[in-house]
Amino acid sequence: MAQAREQLFLPDGRVVDLSRPLVMGILNVTPDSFSDGGRYVDLERAVEHARSMVACGAAIIDVGGESTRPGYTPVPLEEEKRRVLPVIEALSAAIDVPLSIDTQKAAVAEAALERGAQILNDIQGLRGDPAMARLAAESGAPVVIMHNRREPVYADLLEEVRRDLSDGVERLLAAGGRPEQVILDPGIGFGKTVEQNLLLLKQLDRLSALGYPLLLGASRKSVIGRTLGVPVDERLPGSLAVAVYGVLKGARIVRVHDVCETAQAVKMIAAIEEVLGDGSAHPVGA
């Protein structure tokens, strides 16, 4: 199995270490996101929330100005820019961790990069806006290529997800981009039934075989709600279980709302995996 790359190279020259799994904190500056809509539309509250996620261990903050929950209302370009750009600008000055821009519009992504965003997050996997692959290639920024389909119809789920993701990678390379920029994401909740989401999680390690770092975003999603029969504000235990399972299956970045709790879970996994010795001497503590 191909070993996934363990670094992200940012346009500003910084390098993000992926040898340990990272937490990406979600900052939705939308009135209508499915779990946190309306909470951070105010600039000061957005900055405060980002700061608190960083304090808890977020290594990346993902800023989004358009909810993409099932049945969402598309946001016009100017409105999306109005929502995200001031936040990107303020966060570039306020916090040290890299910012990613969660958008399907190349014009929003480009303006965000100009204001300090360092990572592109395209839920259309470079198969939506035709200008996105070129922008990714020209900027040299790491780009999350997420799997997405309109209809949950597959003859062979894993094979088709792999093929669609590879197609996104091909678009980047054809536009002049580099394999080093690629981060892949199975797109939990996007054009998949509950069973298909569970199956993709179960087979996540097989997506690592493509050789790119994997990002997993299942936080508070309906696959958890439906499996456990719990409303959106009671999905923390399920979200933690999926994040831990995902990391053990090879995810290097987990995109979550509950950063403090997830960062502790991920740190605990790293501590167990990295402990040395045979346990016969030098106990670390009780």
Of 77 and 271, nearer to ligand HH2 (C-beta) is 77
Residue 235 appears among annotated catalytic residues = no
Q: Should residue 215 be labelled a site residue for ligand HH2 when binding is judged by CB under 6 A?
A: yes
Q: Which stretch binds ligand HH2 (CB under 6 A): 27-35, 124-132, 158-166, 258-266?
A: 27-35
Count of CB atoms within 10 A of residue 245's CB?
Answer: 15
State how far the Cα of 167 lies from the Cα of 161, in Å rounded to an integer: 10
Q: Which of residues 220-249 bind ligand HH2 (CB under 6 A)?
A: none
Q: Report the C-alpha gap between 84 and 103 in whole angstroms.
A: 10
Active site residue 255: yes
Nearest partner of 136 among 101, 88, 96, judged by Cα: 101
Q: Closest by alpha carbon to 61, among 16, 108, 6, 107?
A: 16
**Minimum separation from the CB atom of position 34 to ligand HH2 (A):** 4
Print the binding letters for residues 36-75 with ligand HH2: x by CB under 6 A, - otherwise: ----------------------------x--xxx------
- Does residue 123 belong to the site contacting ligand HH2 (CB under 6 A)? yes
Task: From 22-30, 77-85, 103-111, 264-272, give the range in contact with ligand HH2 by CB under 6 A.
Answer: 22-30
Q: Which residue lies nearer to ligand HH2 by CB, 85 or 278?
A: 85
Smaller CB distance to ligand HH2: residue 177 or 189? 189
User: What amino acid is encoded at 275 in this protein?
Assistant: V
Considering only 8, 25, 27, 30, the residue that binds ligand HH2 (CB under 6 A) is 30
Site for ligand HH2 in 143-202 (CB under 6 A): 144, 146, 185, 187-188
Q: Is 121 in the site for ligand HH2 (CB under 6 A)?
A: yes
Q: Does 255 bind ligand HH2 (CB under 6 A)?
A: yes
Of 18, 35, 143, 208, the one binding ligand HH2 by CB under 6 A = 35
Are 124 and 188 contacting, i.e. CB atoms less than 8 angstroms apart? no
Residue whose beta carbon is closest to ligand HH2: 217
* Least separation in angstroms between CB 33 and ligand HH2: 3
Site membership for ligand HH2, residue 217 (CB under 6 A): yes
d(Cα 24, Cα 99) in Å, to the nearest integer? 9
Question: Annotated active-site positions, please?
Answer: 221, 255
Residues near ligand HH2 (CB under 6 A) are 26, 28, 30, 33-35, 64, 67-69, 102, 121, 123, 144, 146, 185, 187-188, 215, 217, 255
